[in-house]
Copies of this chain bind each other. A is one copy, B any other.
C-alpha cells in the first residue's frame, strides 16, 4: 500500500505529505490553510506549497472564503483522484463481488477496526518521537 501511494505521488507530482493533506481536506470537507497547517504539523508557509502542488495536480481547489476574505476555502476537487484511482476502484469492486454480504460485513468490520489500531499506534509513535 505504501508503494502504491508512492507511485500515485510520482504520477501526480505530489509528495507524501501532500497526500496526507488531501486526506485531511476530504475528511473535513473543507479547511482553511491555517487549519491544514495545524492538522498536518507544518508551518503556514509550507502549507502554501502543499496547496500549490495539490491545485496544480488538479486534486484540490483554492477558493476565497465568502465571509472572511483573509481566509481560504480549500476543498478536494470533485472526482479528484479520478483517473489515478479508477483502476484501483474497479479492481477492488471486482474483488468485493467475490464475497457474500455476510463475508463483506466481516471484512468491513475488520478494516474499520484495523484503521483504528493503526491510528492509535501512529499516535503512540508520534508521541514518542516528538514529545
Q: Give A residues with C-beta under 8 Å from B.
A: 1-8, 10-11, 16, 19-20, 84, 87-88, 91-92, 95, 98-99, 103, 106-107, 110, 113-114, 117-122, 124-126, 128-130
Does A10 contact B129, Cβ atoms closer than 8 Å? yes
A114–B95 CB distance below 8 A: yes
Inside 8 A of A126's CB, which chain B residues have their CB? Answer: 7, 10-11
Q: Are A129 and B7 in contact (CB under 8 A)?
A: yes
Q: Judging by beta carbons under 8 Å apart, are B92 and A99 in contact?
A: no
Q: Quick check: B1 and A118 within 8 Å, CB to CB?
A: yes
Q: Which of A119, A125, A129 is packed against the most chain B CB atoms within 10 Å?
A: A125
**Cβ-defined partner of A7 (8 Å) among B4, B98, B122:** B122
